[in-house]
Amino acid sequence: MIAITTSVFELFKIGPGPSSSHTIGPMRAGYNFYSSVRELTLSETPDNLEVRLYGSLSATGEGHGTDRAVIAGLLGYLPDTVDCSFLDSLADRSSHKFDSGNISLPISVNNVVFAEVENSFPYANTLLIRLKKGDTIIHEQEYYSIGGGFIKWKGELEEIPCAPKYKYSCMEELKQILTDKEMRLHQLVLENESSVTGLNEDEINIKLDAIIDTMKKAVENGLSAEGVLPGPIGLHRKAKRLYGSSSKPNAADAFLLRLNAYGFAASEENAAGHIVVTAPTSGSAGVIPAVVYALEEDLGISREMVRQGMLVAAALGFIAKHNASIAGAEVGCQGEIGVASAMAAGLVTYANGFRFWRTENAAETALEHHLGLTCDPVGGYVQIPCIERNAMGAVRAYNAYLIASVENEQFHKVTYDEVVKAMADTGRDMDSRYKETSLGGLAVSVPNC
Ligand code: SF4
């Protein structure tokens, strides 16, 4: 058993949209290169820098802003602090200076090459960043964007993370600990977070509040915005209209319209390249904010209960990431919207005060009904089907909570571990055309985008 050591704040990361694997991951790779070059002693002085993108980074990187993101990282910007208008400004191909150690080179998005989609690197979404003198490579680093904004690189020294207090790798082991220790799940996640990051409970709560507030801000920004989203599709924002239509006499319709509006709002902000929270990815950054917003603003659930729900959602995301994947490029959209919906279902259930077995059942139900969901963004933009899919993921999460809240424990037949395994197997068998390459599905059948 390899224990889960991921921090809550590695899973929930603040950064610009539209895609964690195409925007946040490449920006972090660029930043890592920028920082590591400072330590290098090179035999020759390079006169140019090249970035090569592979896999879906190449296939859909232009629509996702991967070229701008990696250049921003190389200029020393990080996802949680970068100014989105600066990122946008890089699209005009203006020249900036890569300045690290004693190396100073002009760079712009012109230095980014969209290379082969099919490749034999260990991870499909690979970036090569090279310092060159003429055509000769002086120094090269191979990075992998593995989903959710996480990166790895070739030759990376295995960092030995601080051991979590409670070691688990799957739901079965997690439940055993909860039973043996007679503790609640949010408490376990909190104590593990403390042991992995060294933060105390107050510090964790402050960081959690910043994440929750950023999620809610993305919803609010999206609810007030109008117009057409960037890119050639010409897709109009819908969140404001949905929200404006929610004053229905039928309370159920009104709530559903608002929940949909919240999902559209945060997801439209993501598509606009504005600040969102990976939850677990940027493509799925509307699902959890939608339910969080509804819990606090429509249903009067307290911040403390929402914090607890967020910790539980993190545990559900950890297990999916550890045993399958949260990357559309690896398992299709089931790993993004499907996992986000499972996390959101668990969050709503736990924040409503239900015990853990109902929380697991809600998460399992939500993920089960996203199995097989492909990733086929039209034109390579995180817009169609992604934006509506976030709203659907939020509604399905709420529905899964409703079912789990009344069901009989003995009658629930599928465990969270089993559905995560099914997702991993399905993802492995899925053709690469349906894994964020925009070479199949809607990306092919929808013309002129
Ligand atoms: S289809 Fe799903 S997995 Fe693919 S980019 Fe859109 S949200 Fe992400």
Pocket test for ligand 1, best of 325, 374, 382 (most atoms within 8 A of CB): 382
Q: What's the pLDDT score for residue 449?
A: 60
Pick the atom of ligand 1 nearest to 389's CA.
7
Q: What's the pLDDT score for residue 448?
A: 59
Q: What does the H/E/C string look like for the chain?
A: CCCCCCCHHHHCCEEECCCHHHHHHHHHHHHHHHHHHCCCCCCCCCCEEEEEECCHHHHCHHHHCHHHHHHHHHCCCCCCCCCHHHHHHHHHCCCEEEEECCEEEEECHHHEEECCCCCCCCCCCEEEEEEEECCEEEEEEEEEEEECCEEEECCCCCCCCCCCCCCCCCHHHHHHHHHHHCCCHHHHHHHHHHHHHCCCHHHHHHHHHHHHHHHHHHHHHHHHCCCECCCCCCCECCHHHHHHCCCCCCHHHHHHHHHHHHHHHHHHHHHCCCEEECCCCCCCCCHHHHHHHHHHHHCCCCHHHHHHHHHHHHHHHHHHHHHCCCCHHHHCHHHCHHHHHHHHHHHHHHHCCCCHHHHHHHHHHHHHCCCCCCECCHHHCCCCCHHHHHHHHHHHHHHHHHHHHHCCHHHCCCCHHHHHHHHHHHHHHCCHHHECCCCCCHHHHCCCC
How remote is the CA of residue 266 from the centroid of ligand 1, in Å? 14
Q: In terms of CATH, what superfamily is 18-153?
A: D-3-phosphoglycerate dehydrogenase; domain 3 (3.30.1330.90)
How remote is the CA of residue 279 from the centroid of ligand 1, in Å? 13
Give the pocket of ligand 1 (CB within 6 Å). 283-284, 328, 333, 336-337, 375, 377, 382, 385-386, 389, 436
pLDDT in 10s for each residue of the chain, 449 residues: 799 999 999 999 999 999 888 999 999 999 999 999 998 888 899 999 999 999 989 988 887 889 999 999 999 999 989 998 899 899 999 999 999 988 999 999 999 999 998 889 999 899 999 999 999 999 999 999 998 898 999 999 877 778 999 999 999 999 999 999 999 999 999 999 999 999 999 999 999 999 999 999 999 999 999 999 988 999 999 999 999 999 877 989 999 999 999 999 999 999 999 999 999 999 999 999 999 999 999 999 999 999 999 999 999 999 999 999 999 989 999 999 999 999 999 999 999 999 899 999 999 999 999 999 999 999 889 999 999 999 999 999 999 999 999 999 889 999 999 999 999 999 999 999 999 888 999 999 997 56
Pocket test for ligand 1, best of 386, 430, 435 (most atoms within 8 A of CB): 386
- Classify 171-445 by CATH class: mainly alpha
Q: What's the pLDDT score for residue 371?
A: 98
Q: What's the pLDDT score for residue 63?
A: 78
Ordered by start, the domain boundaries in the chain are: 18-153, 171-445
